[in-house]
Amino acid sequence: MSSFKLKVLLTGAAAVGKTSLVQRFIKNRFQQNYKLTVGVDILTKDVEFKPNEIATLSIWDIGGQQRFEFIRSTFYKGAAGALLVFDLTREQTYIETRKWLTEIRQFTEQNIPFVFIGNKLDLLEDVGEVIDRNEARSFAENEGSIYIETSAKTGENVDEAFTELTRRIINSRTQ
């Protein structure tokens, strides 16, 4: 039985793959055609963050159009951690992660753990590198985080991203 119930947030620009990551993680499926998230979706999944230790994540996936403060404060309230996602094929989404991190820190009580995600790794071969991935790594490390590259399409590193976030949340609480 799980004794940890953790609220985690999916943050980052529109169409970076937030909904796709959580769908892959929970339902192990992927959809090519883009459906805008309307409002907030909350999905739940148990994560075994170390052998025989389970945490129940409630994963909050917010629609990009929800720019209203009262909705956003509800979104952030009580959050234990966040995935901060950008799209490896669109530089602007990487630049915008700075703003998202500022917002996370502004709306949450302490410095909650986050994991920095470069998504759409499967497209990199065709598109080529549009951001400096070493810089992404050092940015994450300087912020006390970790940089993970994922593909919601192939599933690469998706479980790892959520499990790593869970571990970081638990570690930050039991130290």
Nearest to 89 by CA among 2, 21, 16: 16
Q: For residue 88, give the amino acid letter.
A: L
Exposure of 125 in the CB half-sphere (CA atoms within 13 A): 2
Q: Are the C-beta atoms of residues 127 and 158 closer than 8 Å to each other?
A: no
- CB contact at 8 A, 25 and 152: no
Tell me whether residue 3 or residue 67 sits nearer to ligand GDP (CB atom): 67
Per-residue binding letters, 102-141, with ligand GDP (x by CB under 6 A) = -----------------xx-xx------------------
Smallest distance from Mg ion to CB 21, Å: 9
CA dihedral 156, 15, 86, 113 (to 10 degrees): -80
Binder among 3, 32, 134, 142 for ligand GDP (CB under 6 A): 32
Nearer to ligand GDP, 153 or 168 (CB): 153
158 lies in the binding site for ligand GDP (CB under 6 A)? no
| Residue in 28, 31, 44, 171 binding ligand GDP, rule: CB under 6 A | 31
Q: Based on the shown chain and the rule CB under 5 A, indicate whether residue 19 belongs to the binding site for Mg ion.
A: yes
Which residues on neighbouring strands pair with residue 120, listed in sequence order?
none
- Measured CA angle at 58 (ends 16, 65), to 5 deg: 40
Range 42-81, binding ligand GDP (CB under 6 A): 64
Q: In this structure, how many other beta carbons lie within 10 angstroms of the beta carbon of residue 153?
A: 18
Considering only residues 8, 11, 19, 118, which one is a binding residue for ligand GDP as defined by CB under 6 A?
Answer: 19
Report which residue's Cβ sits closest to ligand GDP: 17
Task: Give me the 27-66 binding string for Mg ion, x by CB under 5 A, dash otherwise.
Answer: ----------x-----------------------------
Q: Report residue 153: phi and psi, to 5°.
A: -70, -50
Q: Which residues bind Mg ion (CB under 5 A)?
A: 18-19, 37
